[in-house]
């Protein structure tokens, strides 16, 4: 079971890295199995929506930074 969760998280991360997230700048997004399942400026709201839609999955939750943000 743990292997499946890790694979799902890895697939979600790969999707995140390859997808244009510009429509979600400044928002939190939840990704489950290569799909954006929720987005909002409120992280708790995003997580709750994702868990409600996919209760047995582990969503990847991340904030999409602004264009001027420097990530080191």
What is the average pLDDT across 4-16? 77
**Segment (H or E) for 63:** strand 60-63
- Distance, in Å, from the CA atom of 71 to the CA atom of 53, rounded to the nearest integer, reads 31
At 13-47, the pLDDT tens digits run 888 889 999 999 999 999 998 999 999 999 999 99
Residue 30 lies in a domain: yes
Domains in the chain, number? 1
State the residue range of the domain holding 19.
Answer: 2-63
In this prediction, residue 42 carries a pLDDT of 98
68 within some domain: no
Inside any domain, residue 44? yes
Question: What is the phi/psi pair of residue 60, to 5°?
Answer: -85, 120
pLDDT at res. 67: 72
> Distance between CA 3 and CA 51 in Å, rounded?
19
* Percent of the chain's residues with pLDDT above 70: 83
The residue that leads in pLDDT, 52 or 7, is 52
Tell me whether strands 36-40 and 28-31 are parallel, antiparallel or unpaired. Answer: antiparallel
Q: Which two tokens stand for residue 46?
A: 């995003």
């Amino acid at each position: 079971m743990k292997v499946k969760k890790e694979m799902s998280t890895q697939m979600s991360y790969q999707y995140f890295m390859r997808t244009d997230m510009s429509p979600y700048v400044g928002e939190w997004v939840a990704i489950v199995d290569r799909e954006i399942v929720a987005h909002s400026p409120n992280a708790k709201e995003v997580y709750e929506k994702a868990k409600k839609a996919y209760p047995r999955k582990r969503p990847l939750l991340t904030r999409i930074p602004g264009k001027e943000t420097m990530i080191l």
